[in-house]
Structure formats: C-alpha cells, structure tokens
Amino acid sequence: MASAKATLTLFIVVAFLMAGCGSSTEPATKETKAPAAKRPTTKPDLPTAAEQTAAIAKFSKLGRPIYCGGKAKPWVALTFDDGPGPYTERVLALLNRRHIRRTFFINGKNVATYRDALRHEARSRSAVGNHTWSHKLLTSLDAEEQKREIISSQRAIARVTGRPVNLFRPPYGAHDKYTDRIVRRSGAVTILWDIDSEDALGANYKEISRHVKHGFRPGSIILLHENRGQTLRALKYTILPALKKSKVIPVTVPEMLAGNPPSTKQLRRGRDGCAR
C-alpha cells in the first residue's frame, strides 16, 4: 500500500510539473488533470511524399502566394515562425505528445546556434520552410539583397536537414515582384496565412487562443511563433484541445497543398478566398 501511495504521489507531482510552471493564472482545464495524450482516433488519409512534391512544384510554377488550403477537408496547418530558438524543444515536446503535425519557418541566422533543434524540427510530422536569413522587411531591399536573404537561408537550412527547402514565408508577409520571382526560380512556393494568432504583436495567451479558436475553418493556415511562452500556453490549454474537440486534423503545409489544395478561384482572391 505504502508503495502504491508513493507512486500515486509521484504521479501527481509529475503531472503538476508537466502541466506548466505552476502559475495560478493558468486555467484549470481537464488538460491539467490528464496530461497523457492518446493517438488521435481519426487518422487522416495523408498524401504521399511524391504527391506533396508534385503539389509544391505546381504551386511554385503558378507563383501565387498561398493563404489557406481548400474547404473540402477538416484540415488546418499550424505554422511556427522565427525559429529555431530556446523554446524549440518545448514546442516539439508539446506537439509530439499529441501527435500534432506542423510546419516551421526558419531564419537562417539561427541555424548555427540551434543546429540540433532544427534537426529535431525536421524529423517526423514536420515540414520545414525558409523565413529568410535575418527577418528583414524584404520590400525595403533591392532585388540582390532580397536574393541574399532568401537563398543563403534556404541553403543553410537544407545543409542541416538534408532536404530541399521549397516552402517560403516572407517576414511580415511582405513580398513584391522581386521576391516572387526569386522564390519561384528557387522552386519554392510562398506560404502566407489566413489566421494570425497575433502572438508576435504581444497578444497574451487568452487573446492568442481567441484569435485562433474563433478564426479557424477547414483549410486554415495558422500563424504562430515558436519562441513565445504565451503561444505555448495557448496551444496547450486552448488551441490543441479546441482543434481536437472540433475533430479538425492538423497537417503540414505540403500535406495541405497536396491533399486539400486551395481552388484556382480561392488563389485568385488571395486572403479573401479563405473566408468561410
């Protein structure tokens, strides 16, 4: 009995530690009582690697930025910008526990410092894209400077992951005809978003949760940032439980492009094509 009691006490302590940093402001949800995750019951019929590569090539040639996927399937893409960094392993641990597929947009300048974190990000359930070398506003640069920002980062990421980097997200979503040409010629496709969590604008976890929870729809591409504690908290306590409750399946961006692509009409309308 004594040993069973000790085991129970240990379990409670571990569960408490896993639930966060013990702040009293964290909402008491079921999540804190049941941290152990189960495999999702609904397994999406995901496109093959070849289908994903073909879809990226097709959209790269079209040269239009992607704001969201199609409306046919209850899929969303969670995307994390500005890494890798000090929070990467925490984000990965949280997502892996729940078998959540995701996409990371990487700044080349972080790669040398967080090489292992990037390697971990590139493992299963992930897609990795390019977010320029140093996060400059590309539209304030000339074509040559833009090319350096984009291509140097693309190469640095590929050297670590060992795979071609064919997704691109411009910092602040800002791109012009030079950006579009460089991205297209590099074989990549520009990925923007239809749902902004506003975590980079200083939103707290409640606001981040609200923006995502009330905004997403089938096909949404959701903008998040991996090096923010408030984002992690929102994901853990609200966003991931809300997606699960709605039976929405998180996929990577290439999976979205191949398995639930935006229609031509949606593409032409830009972000407006993503409305419900």
Active site residues: 81, 225
Question: Which residue has the CB atom at the shortest distance from Zn ion?
Answer: 81
The DSSP bridge pattern shows strands 189-190 and 126-130 to be unpaired
CB of 117 to Zn ion, least distance (A): 16
Q: Which of 79, 81, 179, 258 binds Zn ion (CB under 5 A)?
A: 81
Closest-CA residue to 257 (of 49, 42, 81, 5): 49
* Cα separation, 192 vs 186, whole angstroms: 17
Compute how many residues bind Zn ion; rule: CB under 5 A. Answer: 3
* Cα separation, 258 vs 37, whole angstroms: 28
* Cα separation, 23 vs 9, whole angstroms: 20
CB of 212 to Zn ion, least distance (A): 17
Tokens matching residue 260:
């639930």
Q: Which residues contact 225 (CB under 8 A, 6 or more apart)?
A: 80, 81, 82, 197, 199, 200, 231
Q: Which stretch binds Zn ion (CB under 5 A): 13-21, 155-163, 166-174, 175-183?
A: 166-174
Q: Which stretch binds Zn ion (CB under 5 A): 47-55, 82-90, 237-245, 258-266?
A: 82-90
Q: Which stretch binds Zn ion (CB under 5 A): 60-68, 74-82, 205-213, 267-275?
A: 74-82
* Cα separation, 258 vs 253, whole angstroms: 9
Q: Which of 68, 82, 138, 252 binds Zn ion (CB under 5 A)?
A: 82
Q: Which is nearer to Zn ion, 52 or 227 (CB)?
A: 227
Sites for Zn ion among residues 34-63 (CB under 5 A):
none
User: Is residue 226 at the binding interface for Zn ion, with CB under 5 A as the rule?
Assistant: no
